[in-house]
Amino acid sequence: MHKAIALLAGLIVLVLANLTIYQRERLLADGRILLLELAPVDPRSMMQGDYMALDLRVARDVAAKPRGRRDGHAVLAVDKRGVGSFLRFDDGSPLGPNEVLLHYRVREGRPRIATNAFFFQEGTGERYQTARYGEFRVAKDGEAILTGLRDEGFQDLGKAGTLTP
């Protein structure tokens, strides 16, 4: 009986893990590209080992509002370059043609969007020092995943998880 329970639990874990992987793959393939401006960070702490700590201007804008102190959805206006900026909190009304829904989670008192770090191969950190935008893929329900960084001219600096120098 114990073996059957352990086997069933293992099977459930595998199914859930594979479902999560499938959902992320769909988001990467079908999600809308959205650029979010990186907020200024202390340059002495910008590079911390093999990752860059990220702070997004949108997250700061959300945090500045009382409603931004709990998990929720923000509506962003998206300009012609694909850059999103905080417009309002989601109230369930339909989105306009240049608006996108973005889910955020409050952790340690601060809103987080997708992630707060960009990981890169050891020794390649210098490449990312000119980063000004995070490139995200966003699903219709507002879930987002970081896919890369771009400089102020919107040039691709590298993709998340890239291991080539």
DSSP 3-state of 124:
coil
**Residue 8: predicted pLDDT:** 78
If phi over 0 gives left and psi between -120 and 50 gives alpha, with beta otherwise, what is residue 138? beta
Q: Which of 116, 106, 100 is nearest to 63 (CA)?
A: 106
pLDDT digits (tens, 9 = 90+) for 117-128: 777 777 777 777
User: Residue 3 CA to chain centroid, in angstroms?
Assistant: 40
pLDDT digits (tens, 9 = 90+) for 32-59: 889 999 886 544 444 455 677 788 999 9
On the question of pLDDT at 162 being above 70, the answer is no
pLDDT digits (tens, 9 = 90+) for 64-103: 988 777 899 999 999 999 999 999 999 999 999 999 999 9
Q: Is the separation of the CB atoms in 139 and 103 below 8 Å?
A: no
Q: One-letter amino acid identity for 30?
A: D
- Retrieve residue 47's tokens: 């590079």
Q: Is the separation of the CB atoms in 53 and 116 below 8 Å?
A: yes
How high does pLDDT run on average in the chain? 81
Phi and psi at residue 125, to the nearest 5° = -60, -30
**Residue 58: predicted pLDDT:** 93
DSSP 3-state of 110:
strand
- Tell me the whole-structure pTM to 2 decimals: 0.75
pLDDT band of 20, cuts 50, 70, 90: low
| More confident call, 53 vs 25 | 53
Query: How much is the average pLDDT of 23-27?
Result: 67
